[in-house]
Amino acid sequence: MKIRFPKASAMVAHLAVFCVVSCAVASAQSQHQVHAATLAVAINGADSPNLIPDDMATRHLLLALAAQRARRADGATVSGLIDSLAIGDGDAAAMVAAIDALVPQLRAVDESLASLAQSAPAGGAAAEELNAARFRALDATKQLIERTMSADGWASVREFVDKKVKPRIVIYGQAPRVP
């Protein structure tokens, strides 16, 4: 599965980091890019955002926020993508705290994947486990944010995911078969 972001915007730039961060192994990544041109679009979020899984879109948002927080200089104020969520200061603080806890977890996974790429170019089971660890960290962060934010704040995040994130996701491959 490959994800492409068709429109240029600040959010797309942040979400594009996901494509770089989520590709498990450098050699697998380059091999995947070669085949991406031959894959058909399975789901285009711009046409059918309701077909993009909620968990996938939320992970994209969390990865984009984590990438933005990881790039910030120490002591920098919260700005950028998190401001687009239109949430109150308390909810923003809860989200920033959760994202700041996520950043080192993602960094550790990325470092392990980079190390693995040098020793085992094909990736295999070890790369799959590291990617599963990334998903577990993202899912735990989502649950933490959902628990610590107000209902209105979480509703704003869900609306942002539905209206801004899902339309920018394109999934390549075979479309899922509907029974």
What is the per-residue pLDDT across 71-110, written as a single tens digit (0 to 9) for each?
875 545 556 788 889 899 999 999 999 999 999 999 999 9
Residue 177 lies in a domain: no
* Lookup result for tokens 């996701």: 169
Residue 65 lies in a domain: yes
Q: Give the integer Cα–Cα distance in Å for 51 and 66.
A: 25
Residue 138 lies in a domain: yes
What percent of the chain has a predicted confidence (pLDDT) above 70? 70
Shortest CA distance to 90 belongs to which of 1, 156, 14? 156
Residue 178 lies in a domain: no
Question: Cα angle at 87 between 48 and 43, to 5 degrees?
Answer: 15
Structure tokens at 163: 């209206």
pTM of the model: 0.73
Structure tokens at 102: 């996520």
Shortest CA distance to 176 belongs to which of 23, 57, 1? 1
Residue 91 lies in a domain: yes
Q: Please report the pLDDT score of residue 74 as a whole number.
A: 53
3-state helix, strand, coil in the chain (%, to 5): 70, 5, 25
Helix crossing, 151-160 with 89-119: angle to 10°? 50
Q: How many domains does the chain have?
A: 1
End-to-end CA distance of the chain: 21
Q: Note down the domain range covering 167.
A: 3-172
Is the per-residue pLDDT at 46 higher than 50?
A: yes
**Contacts of residue 83, Cβ cutoff 8 Å, sequence gap at least 6:** none
What percent of the chain has a predicted confidence (pLDDT) above 90? 52
Residue 179 lies in a domain: no
pLDDT band, very low/low/confident/very high, at 174 (cuts 50, 70, 90): confident
